[in-house]
Structure 1
């Protein structure tokens, strides 16, 4: 979202917890999920979108990418290669095309299959990219697999534009969905000559997992909202809040207290920011008081934080904001 507004109190809800979060247990080796953060400066607050360091097992490596804003950081978590021959997801991976949706159970993307997008799925394909068509020898039959840095670069070069083109006017630069890349991994690259990657969208969930969702992203309100009681993480390197749900028992920066739907007050064109601000602040205060009852927000040292909706998000169909 665009600007983050603060009521006059002094601290983020749950900013009291500042100890580093414990690393999640690795379910199975073989998949690397690099961390990617997008920093967006605003007039009244700094919002960092955390895309997580997810460790998942399976046939494909999922690499989330930040948005197009400045300040993105990326890392890489190495793992052992896993066999690809005969895996059920080979067919799904090779057949998947723009507009297809993939689903896999729990942390087993090796069981990925193409499903109806109206049903639960964890990845929506924006574009299937065959790197064999790229010029030069970098992706040739005898080429070594790309380095982590090169993979991240490829993801940014290919997937950000692919998702923009795929969504068209429905592209929300502040979307809760993550631009992401799926590729078969080192062993498939070496042994099977696989050079295909899938650019698409995913939705982060708690415990460093992907959240299943229904419907195509272009048909969904992409607003960054979560159910009341959801806790949002904190980047332990910067002590800044991140837009990734975490267990509330873990260190976190904010706790969601409600959701405001601006369409209920402004059904037409994008309202001016002062009009948004006044409406959102009033409702967020009431929701937060109800959430904290019998305690009143004004009697605490907590700070009420909420964004407003920028034009690009409004044009894409996003109408909601979270109170925290």
Structure 2
């Protein structure tokens, strides 16, 4: 028997196992449920400011709409008396009010439609241009978006001026077209078409920037697979791109409806502070009733009806978003 056979074999120690993880120990006096109050504490200043800035005017608006409130009540010669729903009955029974409602809905629908179509086309175009062209377009979009509404309205007034407007001069360059001296605001439809162009011009940049960000999230693999299956450009957009962008499109459409239903400075400034009857929208109509006719109660009732109409739009938006969440 050799010496190598008489040696005692060496035992290799087993690797030491790590102890199982233990739950974190909550320090005495601190409760984990208290973390739920932190978000509310952070939101409290913002909620307080919103309550002061929006809450009081809304409560005052509701109060005025149920009272008789004119100049006599404003100056304190007469007390404000409650009249119940008389203001609403008078407003809803006025044919002029319903004409304004129809005009506002048609105007807002046209603005939203053109804004979304033009914004989508420009956003899709930005995906196919070179980097420096995209940069120039984005700079132009941000510059137009950042321009104050009053400045933009003044520029459009000059562009469509009947005597010195450059738009009439450019149209007159076309063969057989003579637009020199044409007054675009002589009729309501033409004047509202100009105001629609102004609203769309100011709203398109936000839509383009938002949709461009959404288009970066569309998987290229899905688009390539659709093309391999024989889908054309419209098929890829309809069955691949648009379904992915649907939440963004719904959000932008709802915001556009709310903004376009509340258009005021564009009409007010374009008509020099005195919009004619064929240019009246719900916002300007409420303003005229309150501050031109000095019937603050009816003006408040019209404004409150406008708020209720917009709340219906928000309700439709929330329903669509919940449906999208259930599908996903």
Higher helix share: 2
**If each structure's strand is expressed as a fraction of its own residues, which one has the higher value?**
1
User: Which TM-score band applies after superposition, normalised by the shorter structure?
Assistant: under 0.3
Name the larger-Rg structure.
2
- Normalization by structure 2: what TM-score? 0.24
Tell me the TM-score normalised to structure 1 length. Answer: 0.25
